[in-house]
Amino acid sequence: MEASTGHGSGQRASDWRAQLPLNGPGPYAVVDGRILTDGLEVIIAAHCNLRCRACAYLSPVMLEGNVRNAETFHGLGIRMIQLTYNDHSYAGDGCMQAIDEGLTFFGRELIRCMNELGIIVDLSHCGLRTTMEAIEWSRAPVAVSHSACAALHPHPRNKTDDILRALSSTGGYLGVCAVPAFLADRRKRRPSVAVMTEHILHALDICGEAGVGIGSDWGVKGSPVPVLTRLRSESRSRGFRERRQFDFAHITDGFERWSVGFPRITRSLVTTGLSDAAIKGVLGGNFCNFYERVTVAGQHNVG
C-alpha cells in the first residue's frame, strides 16, 4: 500500500492511495480513499457512498510499552486499538490464554490514555476477565467490534451474556461477526446468515437496539492457496487450534463476500419483524453513533 498525504495537491492529510495487486505481482489497481477520524466523517461517508477506512490496530504491541506513543498514533489517524490479540499482551490476557489474569498496570494506564485521546478500546480478542475489568475501568464506553454470543455458541472468542449486560450498562457496542467458527459448531449446524441473525437478535435482547451492529471480519471467498497457507500458519501461532474449527477456507453460507452478505443479512433482519429504525441501527447507525460519542469526547479532552 502506498500512502499519500497529498501535500501540495489540495488533498487532506487523511487522504490515501493504495496500489492493490490484481493478479500476482501486477498489474495494480490504484484505489483512492480517505481515512476517517471523526464521527461526522463516518456518517457523511455512508450517505455519499465514499471509499473510506477507519484505522485501528489489532494489539498494543506497536506502542512498545509506552502509553504516550498512543498520542503519536492518534495523530496519524488511529481511532481504535485492541488490548490483546488472543494471547498475552502488555495490556492483559487474550481469549486463547489458559489463564486470564486480567488487566495489567500498563493496560489500565493505556485505557486512561485512550479515553483522553478519544481512541476506542476494543475488547474483541480479550479473555473474559480482561474484558470485564476493561469495561469497568474505562471512563468511556468500549467496543467488542467483532465477536458473537457465547450463549449460542461457546467459542472462546465469543462474549458471555454477563459481558453483554456490562457493555449495555456502560453504553458500549457489540459488532456481531460473520466468522463461521464463531457462529456455530460445523459438526452440528452450518454457519449461515440465518445463524448470524440469531446472534444479532440475542445481542439485541440483552444490549438493546442502540448497542448492536455488524463487525463482519469475514467475507472473502476463494483466496489464493499461498495466502490461505500463510493465514492458517499465522492463525495457529496466534492460538486458533483446529479443534476450534477456525479455518480461512471456511465460509458462512450467504456471506461469502461482503457485497452479497450485507444485502442478505438486511433481508434476513427484515423478516424478523424488527423496526426499520432498529435495522438501520444494526446496519451501521449504531456504530456511527458510538464512534462519534467516544472519539468526539476525546477531541474535547485534547483541545
**Domain containing 272 — which CATH number?**
3.20.20.140
CB–CB of 32/14 below 8 Å? no
User: Within a domain: residue 15?
Assistant: no
Set of cell numbers at residue 185:
459448531
Give dist(CA 44, CA 96) in Å, integer. 38
Number of domains present in the structure of the chain: 1
How many CA within 13 A on the CB side of residue 259? 2
User: Within a domain: residue 136?
Assistant: yes
User: Within a domain: residue 183?
Assistant: yes
pLDDT digits (tens, 9 = 90+) for 42-57: 555 555 554 445 565 5
User: Within a domain: residue 11?
Assistant: no
User: Within a domain: residue 185?
Assistant: yes
What is the domain range of residue 168?
Answer: 58-302
CB–CB of 92/104 below 8 Å? yes
pTM: 0.81
User: Within a domain: residue 37?
Assistant: no
User: Within a domain: residue 40?
Assistant: no
User: Within a domain: residue 195?
Assistant: yes
pLDDT digits (tens, 9 = 90+) for 215-273: 998 877 777 778 777 777 776 666 666 666 677 778 899 999 889 999 999 999 999 99
Specify whether the backbone of 115 is left (phi greater than 0), alpha (psi in -120 to 50) or beta. Answer: alpha
